[in-house]
Amino acid sequence: MGTSSAEREAMARALALAATPGVPFGPNPRVGCVLLDDDGRVVAEGLHRGAGTAHAEVDALSQVDDALLRQGLTAVVTLEPCDHTGRTGPCSEALLTAGVRRVVHALPDPTEAAGGGARRLREAGVEVECGLMAEEATRLNRGWLHGLRHGRPFVTWKLATSLDGRSAAADGTSRWVSNAASRRDTHRLRGLADVMMAGTGTVLTDGPRLNVRDEHDRPLPRQAQPLRVVVGERPLPGDAAVLDDSAATWVTGTRDLSAVLTTLFEQGRREVFLEGGPTLAGAFLAAGLVDEVVAYVAPLLIGDGIPAAQGLPFTSITDALRLDVLDVTTIGAAPETDVRLTMRPHEKEA
């Protein structure tokens, strides 16, 4: 049958609902739902607000009166309705009970426990379409999907570098390599993660707060902050900025990256934003634990200085880690225009 323009607009809205700021991250996917009538008008919206709360479909259905339900609605959902009973009942059953006649979802649920909702709906006579805005839905839940495949959080390494690849000058100064617009953009990306990570060397040398701040440099509410994680064995002074009360902090006391990521995964953390420390960045890269790179490249030459990553085990150009460029964007106005590169490590053919 295909999907309509109203359903596409509804899916875009459902994705926006799923990404609502302040909704806690965790081991569950982020899901939004929009209900449409026969004329393509929105009659209700819903979203999942975290473990134990109503699923997006049930949240939306709870806002519709019986008269509308009797007409038979279309549910537009970012993820296949679940077909299992956990803390809440199956969304497939809720949709059938409500008399929904058509379901459009972006992604199939890949989990053995919750998958199968689409099949159950079809068997009951409901029209089901899958794949609308699948790319956008995948990006929304990349941490959750990555965790299902790899059993660890998705790691994004952010760096700010000069054109000659330096994160700081020879005397150690680095404020600021990137421009103000890039720094604001960095806080936007921080807010999309549930972990902010740096090494003890960076924390001791630069004194970063590692929190998410608004355009006026004010920290967002504590409940909206990622967990701050400091990797390394050196102790931190009690007055370290990263230990303030603006966000929770875990000082790992270890350099074992796999153990740190395993612990974070077990805690329900799915998105790590790695920022700060060429030594830590080099260790993550060498271990193959970086899934995305966001580089802010400033149009300046520093000369001798500190490289963006240290300790990489490459001695030949044939050994180099190659990246696929996903996006190139200029940020800021001349004469301080940075270039933001978003990249993924290139997957070598088997």
CATH of the domain at 76: 3.40.140.10
Q: Assess whether 57 carries a catalytic annotation.
A: yes
Under DSSP, the state recorded for 344 is E
Query: CA angle at residue 273 from 157 to 243, to 5 degrees?
Result: 125
350 belongs to a structural domain: no
Q: What was the pLDDT predicted at 174? A: 66
Q: What was the pLDDT predicted at 348? A: 58
Q: What was the pLDDT predicted at 350? A: 43
Same domain flag for 285 and 186: yes
Question: pLDDT tens string for the chain (350 positions)?
Answer: 678 999 999 999 999 999 987 787 778 899 999 999 999 999 999 999 988 889 999 999 999 988 888 888 999 999 999 998 777 779 999 999 999 999 999 999 998 877 899 999 999 999 999 999 999 999 999 999 999 999 999 999 999 999 999 988 888 776 678 999 999 999 999 999 999 999 999 999 889 999 999 988 899 999 889 999 999 999 999 999 999 999 999 999 999 999 999 999 999 999 999 997 899 999 999 999 999 999 999 999 988 888 999 999 888 999 899 999 999 999 999 888 999 999 999 885 54
Q: How many domains does the chain have?
A: 2
Contact 338, 299 (CB under 8 A): yes
List alpha helices for 83-198, DSSP H. 91-97, 117-123, 134-140, 142-150, 180-190
- Of the residues 57, 271, 275, 292, only one is catalytic, namely 57
Quote the CA–CA distance of 173 and 168 in Å, as a whole number: 6
CATH code, domain carrying 245: 3.40.430.10
Domain endpoint, select from 113, 140, 167: 140
Q: Which domain holds residue 278?
A: 146-345
Domain endpoint, select from 100, 119, 140: 140
What DSSP string runs through 10-35?
HHHHHHHHHT-TTPPPSSSPP-EEEE
Output the pTM of the full model: 0.89
Same domain flag for 336 and 187: yes
